[in-house]
Amino acid sequence: MSNQSAVSPETLQALVDSVYADLAPRRGEGAVADYIPQLARIDPQKFGIAVATVSGEVIVVGDAREAFSIQSVSKVFTLALALGKWGDGLWKRVGREPSGTSFNSIVQLEQERGIPRNPFINAGAIVVTDLLLAGHQPREALGEILRFIRFLADDESIVVDSAVAKSETETGFRNQALANYMRAFGNLHHPVDLTLGVYFHQCALALSCAQLAKAGLFLANGGRLPKDGSVVSRERARRINALMLTCGHYDASGDFAYRVGLPGKSGVGGGILAIVPGQAAIAVWSPGLNKNGNSLLGTLALEMLAQRAGWSVFGA
Ligand code: GLU
């Protein structure tokens, strides 16, 4: 059972609207990620919030029905898939500790002999993708990821933005370095270009806030979708939430836990997925990032919404 306050759909809509109205004048703050050229083209004024509740409502405001590049938020879904395939054997190749370093840091990888700190930094997510590639062609592995997301969001219209994937394939030099490093340590089992091909495409999944909140809802609902049954076990959902809380925001994970108090995962496209156990999944999108690479307005929106709704995993 959850100790979160239950909030009626009408109250929730009013809260989401109030957060949006308070923050709308600040749209455009932060810096849009430009190391992936295609992401630099996004309108920094975009701002949307969606809340999917365990009782089946989806509450939206702003640009919450417009698809954006979910980037690293995809790492939550590939982790759930890979755990389904490999179980706890996955943890032989990836750790479960916060990194305290930036999302694409290579320093720790050298010191720790090619075993990434956690599945939510780039190196760790690349290993998770490598695990999903086992026994498959890249196209099949990507198909499996896409089918999983469509199933979770109950939406067959979700696609990968191939222009974003191409853009990152052409400029992902750091990720190539990370992947080559891990391959040298024996922690990448497929050719670097194949694993990265899948990784770049999974990062280029395009979802709206409404779709993303629905896709994340199983993590708020004991591993189950409200209508389609079990996705992962209750225990596994708890553990994924624990990793999101401790590792979901790179070197700002502690700050996010302090300010928002909910498990969350951010992406450089400006999206964040946050989980209110027993209640709801929240997705926010605002492309301007703070210095840690997390959505500036998105984090603020989650902080305000969690506070106004009385949501926190740290107490009522
Ligand atoms: N595709 C991005 C990268 O690997 C994801 C980073 C992020 O969203 O944090 O650089």
List pLDDT tens digits, range 109-145. 888 899 999 999 999 999 999 999 999 999 999 999 9
HSE-up of residue 22 (Cα within 13 Å, Cβ side): 15
User: Nearest-CA neighbor of 159 among 147, 172, 171?
Assistant: 147
Q: What is the mean pLDDT of residues 197-210?
A: 98
d(CA 131, ligand 1 centre) in Å: 18
Average pLDDT over the chain, rounded to an integer: 95
pLDDT of residue 88: 94
The verdict on whether 268 is a catalytic residue reads: yes
Q: Which two tokens stand for residue 93?
A: 């190749």
Report pLDDT digits (tens) over 176-185.
Answer: 999 999 999 9
The verdict on whether 181 is a catalytic residue reads: no
Does residue 39 have its Cβ closer than 6 Å to ligand 1? no
Active-site residue, from 51, 54, 73, 75? 75
Does residue 268 have its Cβ closer than 6 Å to ligand 1? yes
Assess whether pLDDT exceeds 90 at residue 107: no
Does residue 122 have its Cβ closer than 6 Å to ligand 1? yes
Greater model confidence, 229 or 76: 76
d(CA 159, ligand 1 centre) in Å: 18
Tell whether 4 is covered by a domain: no
Does residue 71 have its Cβ closer than 6 Å to ligand 1? yes
Q: Are residues 82 and 63 in the same domain?
A: no
Where a domain ends, among 203, 222, 242? 203
pLDDT of residue 1: 41
Containing domain of residue 187, as a range? Answer: 72-203
pLDDT band at 57 (very low <50, low <70, confident <90, very high): very high
pLDDT of residue 5: 63
User: Nearest-CA neighbor of 287 among 41, 22, 21, 58?
Assistant: 41
pLDDT of residue 250: 87
User: Nearest-CA neighbor of 4 among 222, 154, 212, 208?
Assistant: 222
Assess whether pLDDT exceeds 60 at residue 204: yes
Q: What is the mean pLDDT of residues 44-49?
A: 98
Active-site residue, from 268, 276, 284, 313? 268
The verdict on whether 46 is a catalytic residue reads: no
pLDDT of residue 146: 98
Give all strands of the β-sheet with 48-53 in edge-to-edge order: 58-62, 48-53, 280-285, 271-276, 264-266
Q: Are residues 98 and 63 in the same domain?
A: no
The verdict on whether 75 is a catalytic residue reads: yes
d(CA 37, ligand 1 centre) in Å: 13
Q: Are residues 89 and 193 in the same domain?
A: yes
Assess whether pLDDT exceeds 90 at residue 285: yes
Q: Are residues 188 and 287 in the same domain?
A: no
Total of domains in the chain: 2
Greater model confidence, 111 or 302: 302
Mapped onto helix, strand or coil, the DSSP state of residue 316 is coil
Where a domain ends, among 203, 233, 257? 203
